Structure formats: structure tokens, C-alpha cells
Structure 1
Amino acid sequence: MKTIKAALLSYGMSGKVFQAPFLELHPGFELLGSWERSKKLIQEDYPQVKSYASLEEILANDTIDLVVVNTPIDTHFEYAKRVLEAGKHAIVEKAFTTTVAEADELADLAKEKGLKLAVFQNRRWDSDLKTVRQILLDGALGEIVEAEFHFDRYNPLLSPKQHKETVNSGSGILKDLGPHLIDQALYLFGFPKAVFADIRTTRENSVVDDWVDVLLYYPDFRVRLKASFFVREPNPAYVIHGKKGSFLKPRGDVQEDDLKVMKKPNLDSWGTEPLEKEGFLHTEIDGKIMHGKIPTLKGNYYDFFDGVYNAIINDTVEPVTAQDGARVMQIIEAAIQSSQEKRVVDL
């Protein structure tokens, strides 16, 4: 098996929790290290790797094939562009960029250089979303009438991460949690015809948006996406109503929580939800009423990295393409315009 040598541009939560464990698990990757600006932590977890002193050191290293751009959102474009210009493949954390123009430029550059560029929309491989997608593929609900997705938390305090709480081109909940919701909606339903959005600031002393309600207009149905920091009693994460029935699913994917306590991912039991998090299906199938819980499919972010491996080695399409990332940015830009102008924005 050919080996792809990879480096991270940060070893904060994203690198430590979401990327390094899967690069270690996948036999086709070798993690060489991470750029670390102040705290030197990666060697505590991976003694064999290197803590790089600068981006330039990574870019100048000819043995590195793939770079994960997992720095603050407003740096994604600059760093990803430099990575691609250095002739290296890239994975870029969400939000892919801060504008559609930046996303398009990176996509064009990767194509010009013959490089692979993937967007880390890992939530496509959540157990929740995989189960929702299977319900839709099975046609269990009939023709869809409406769907509502939530990514809510109860966290009235400001984040200690300054880049998240200062006004910059990458801050705010719309570009933090919003890309998860938007990407999932586009993945399941395709690109909408129009957008209406309401974007607010609700936390005391906050200067960035922290509440968002986005309505996507499709020809025959609507999809509502909501995120808030003031939801103490959680809503169902997924509510989908069709002409035959309904499916409600609480957020139950265990991967993030398990990774935060340093559990190692695997290809066997990983991503198995507790039974109490199963979704509820009420529909009619072949003339019979179905009214009960549905087993949840396993989640595993490994599949994203396996997709990246195959894209680089076998020249297949990236698991989440730069074009996918650009479409998410189109929705975000339209949502900002809609909220500012208090109107529906056609796409």
C-alpha cells in the first residue's frame, strides 16, 4: 500500500481530536507532525512525529504529500493557497473559506496544479446523518414536504478562543456551526433555489452572530437550518416530514465525545450510538403503519480519510470537493445578504 505523508497546520482541538487519530488509524497515511506556534503538544501523543516551527518548514519539506489546513477560518484561503502552490494536496477545515471568490480560486488552483483539495465536512459521517440519509434513500417518508435541522448548544459564555469572538471574516456561528448544517442539507437535497435568513447576536457582550435561522427554498419543499447557544433542552437534531410519514432523530453521534477523552477510533465498534438515541419513524410502508424506533447506523470519520486516500492514490473524486465547499459559501453569502436586507435571495 502506498503511503501518503501528512502534516497538520495546528494541533488544537481540530488536529488533536478530529484529524490526527484517523491519520494514525488509516494504514495509507503517515502523520509526520504539526506546525505548533507556542504549545508543543503533539509529541506527547505521537512521540515519533515532529513539531514544526513554521509553515515554511512544512512547505519546504518535499516528503510531505498532504497538508491539513485546520487553522482559524480567516486564514484558510491564505494557507491553503500556499500549500497548493507548494505542490501539496490539501484538506481544509470548514468553513472552507470566507467568501465564494476565495473558494473558487482555490478550486481553480488545485485543478491547474493537478492536486486534490478536500473540505473537512466530517459531519456527513455522523451516525445521525447517515441514518437520515438511509431513511430518505429508502423512500420511507414519501415525497418530502419539509425538514428542519438543528445544531444547538447551551453555552451563554464567550469562547476563550479570541478568533471566534472578535469581528473578523471567519467569526460567528454562521461560519462555525452553519457549514455543518448547510453541507448536510445540500448533500441530502441538492442546491436550493433561494434563501431566507435571520442572523442575530444573543449572548451578553458578544460582538459576533451566535443565533441563526436559515430557510432553503426548494421547488416542492422547504429545509430550515437553526443554530443557537441558548438551547438548554435540546430539540430533535433532525425532523423530516413527508407525505407518507415523519422521522425525528436526536443528535446522538458519539465520535466527538469519545475522541475528546482520547478514545482511539477503530473499524469495528466505533461510532455506535446508545439505543436511547435512536430515531423515531412514523410512516406507512406497503400499506402497513410503521410506528417506532429505527436502529442507527454507525458513524465513522475514517471514511472521509479513506476517500481522501483514494482520491490521491487512485485519482478518484474527493469525498467532499472544493465545489461542495464553494456551494456552502454561496448559501452563507446569500444568508448574510438576506438577513441584512430582510428579504428572500434568489440563487
Structure 2
Amino acid sequence: MSPAPLKVALVGYGYVGKTFHAPLIAATPGLELHTVVSSDATKVRADFPDVPVVAADLIRALADPAIDLVVIATPDALHAPQAHAALDAGKHVVIDKPFTVTLEEARAVTAHAEKTGLLLSVFQNRRWDSDFLTLQALIDRGHLGQVVQYESHFDRFRPLVRDRWREKPGAGVLLDLGPHLIDQALVLFGMPQAVYADIAVQKDGGVAGDYFHLLLRYPRLRVLLHASQMTQATNLRMAVHGTGGSFIKSGLDAQEAHLKAGMKPGAPGYGEDPRPGVLIQLEDDEPVSTAVQPLPADYRAYYAGIRDAITAGAPNPVSPQEALRVMEVIDAAQRSAEQRREIAL
């Protein structure tokens, strides 16, 4: 007989909660979307008519003894206080990136989770991007040799300032997209020796940083992480160069577009990227290009890992210690941009 599924309360049903967390939770065996905390019950019930909606009352949801796991998908400033409240209520916690707004908040939440013995994890779903999985496989198989330069982009063209919390003071693309790019780099290469950052507001009327360029320095390797909302040529995703070859990939992982279009995780074609990357290697001193078909990907792997960590003691798919390292790099990048100098780690 299969064990009862873990009952999940999703806090927040904005873009991230609706597009990512709710469908992924609902489609992961062993998890049940039990409650949604949202002020917009109509929107939730249009997607999940049988799931109870608690109208923006986290305390009421936390009082429900049936709930095992709380997923926090609210604006960044609420992450830390809501995580503390959930841990106090004896619930396991998943927080959407960024972990918190500041490194100090992240350390406090981590210490709280360690004291309670409850699971705490940060939703770094882009470890399960098709392009990233493909790159990992190429590196593991030795096709690139020793990587000496890694360039990773999340560029978009959104020139108009929108009335949303992500474009208010204290937010911006470093906290929005930076955690993805930084986490992927740290998974591949570990912590750098130092960070240099350039952060800017490039939109007319903008007040939050909509551009960043980070240089992560390693003994030989250089990691370049870049995001812009004023880039019309948004196609480059990554360019990775090593002693054995180079890998170039254009176009973002398809899962976000699939989820926005209403495709169910696991449906035929879900997570498949039809745009191959290119592996360039020397043969007889001449560059030879080979198309590399991206590996299939599925963000449900993250939630399956959460399920197994809670029910079977499996490793946390994204530990708070890993999430803290991302916050350390973000903190160093913010100080670097303010002081206009490299910050050692």
C-alpha cells in the first residue's frame, strides 16, 4: 500500500505560484496540493476547483495539522518572516528563489531550520533546465576538457517599467534572475575566489537594477554571468570554452513556456528543446562543429527530491547551505557594485 501523499500548502498564487509551483506539485506523485493561500480565490479555482483557498491568511493555513510542507511563492520581502512562521508551526519549508532579501535573513532562517530539524530548501528549478543538464553531461564526459571560460545569459527585452514589486526599490534582476545563474555556476565550479559586479538601471524611469554583469574569479577559470532587460538580441544562453572544445547554446529552456501555455508536466513533448547546441572541437587543427541535441528535462525532479528527502531521508535537492552560498555571492556582488571594486570571498 502506498503511503499517504504529503499535503502541501502553497503560499502565493502570482506568476510563480501559478506557473511553476502549483502545476509541478499537482503533477508530482506523492505530493498533494492541499491548500492555497491567496487573496484571489477566483484565479486559483479556475485552475484547481477542488483545492481549498485561504484568503491571504497564512496563520490559519499553518494551524492545519494536515499540512506537511509549506511552499512560499510570495514577494521576496515576505520570504524570511513566512519561513520563520512555517518552521514555528512545525512545517517543512520550500522557498522560491531568492532565498531571502539579505544574507543575514538567510542565515537566520537556516539556523531556525537546523534548530527544528525540519527540511528547508530553495526552489532552484533551473538545475533541471535542458541546456544545463546537457552542459553537465558534456563536461562529465570530458568533451570540453578543462573549462576556462563560462558565459551564461538571461537576457530579455522589456523596456517599459511595469507596476510590479519586482521593479520596485530593493528588488531588481540580481535578486530575480541572479540566483539561477549563480546557482548553476556554483553547482559546476564551486565557490569563486572573488566577485566583481556591475549593476545598472537602464530603463527610462526605472528604479531597480535591470542589468547586471558579474565576473566570478577562480584560479584559472573566469565565469561571466549576465542579465539585461534591454537586449533585443536575446538568443544567446551560454558559451562555454575549455581546453578540449567549446559549447554554444541559444534559446531558453522550454519548460517555462510549456507551463505558461498550460502544458501538464510529463505530457508528451514537455521539457523537450528542439534547438540543438553546438560543440566545436579541433580535428587536424581545423574546427569541427557537431550539433548536440539537448537532454529532456523535467522540473518535477526537484519536487520528487523534496518528497524523498522528507519521507525517506534522501538528500535535500537544494540544501540551505547551497542556497546560503548563492546569497553570499549576491551579497558580495551588491557590495562590489556599490564600491566599484572586486570583493574577495
In which range does the TM-score fall when normalised by the shorter chain? over 0.9
What's the counterpart of residue 100 of structure 1? 103
What's the counterpart of residue 244 of structure 2? 244
Show the 5 A alignment for 1:308-323: 308-323=306-321
Counterpart amino acid of residue 152 in structure 1: D
CA distance in 2, matches of 1:315, 1:88: 16
Two-structure CA RMSD over aligned residues (Å): 1.7
1:69 and 2:67 are equivalent in the alignment? no
- TM-score, length basis structure 1: 0.95
Counterpart pick for 1:281 among 279, 282, 303: 279
Counterpart amino acid of residue 96 in structure 2: E
Show the 5 A alignment for 1:53-202: 53=55, 54-161=57-164, 163-168=165-170, 171-202=171-202
CA distance in 1, matches of 2:264, 2:235: 30
CA distance in 2, matches of 1:57, 1:315: 29
Relative contact order (C-alpha < 8 Å, sep 6+): which is higher?
1
CA shift at 1:52, angstroms?
0.5
1:20 and 2:18 are equivalent in the alignment? no
CA distance in 2, matches of 1:101, 1:139: 39
Counterpart amino acid of residue 296 in structure 2: K
1:30 and 2:28 are equivalent in the alignment? no
CA shift at 1:290, angstroms?
4.8
CA distance in 1, matches of 2:190, 2:283: 25
Percent identical pairs in the alignment equals 40
CA distance in 2, matches of 1:66, 1:287: 56
CA distance in 2, matches of 1:336, 1:299: 32
Query: Does the CA-based 8 Å contact 2:258-2:270 persist in structure 1?
Result: no
What's the counterpart of residue 335 of structure 1? 333
SS of the residue corresponding to residue 293 of structure 1 reads strand
Per-residue CA deviation, residues 181-237 of structure 1 (Å, 9 max, x unaligned), is 111111111111100010100000011111000000011110000000111112421
Query: Does the CA-based 8 Å contact 2:143-2:244 persist in structure 1?
Result: yes
Gaps of 5+ in 2: none
What's the counterpart of residue 300 of structure 1? 298
Show the 5 A alignment for 1:198-213: 198-213=198-213
CA shift at 1:270, angstroms?
2.0
Per-residue CA deviation, residues 114-158 of structure 1 (Å, 9 max, x unaligned), is 111110011111111111111111111111111110000011011
Deviates further, 248-257 or 280-289: 280-289
- TM-score, length basis structure 2: 0.95
What's the counterpart of residue 232 of structure 1? 232
CA shift at 1:285, angstroms?
8.3
Deviates further, 251-260 or 329-338: 251-260
CA distance in 2, matches of 1:235, 1:42: 33
CA distance in 1, matches of 2:208, 2:48: 36
CA shift at 1:75, angstroms?
0.9
Deviates further, 289-298 or 227-236: 289-298
CA distance in 1, matches of 2:283, 2:240: 16
Per-residue CA deviation, residues 283-337 of structure 1 (Å, 9 max, x unaligned), is 2589997521111101110100000000100112211111111111111110111
CA distance in 1, matches of 2:17, 2:101: 20
Counterpart amino acid of residue 309 in structure 2: A
Query: Does the CA-based 8 Å contact 2:41-2:53 persist in structure 1?
Result: no
CA shift at 1:252, angstroms?
3.5
CA distance in 2, matches of 1:288, 1:244: 13
CA distance in 1, matches of 2:40, 2:30: 30
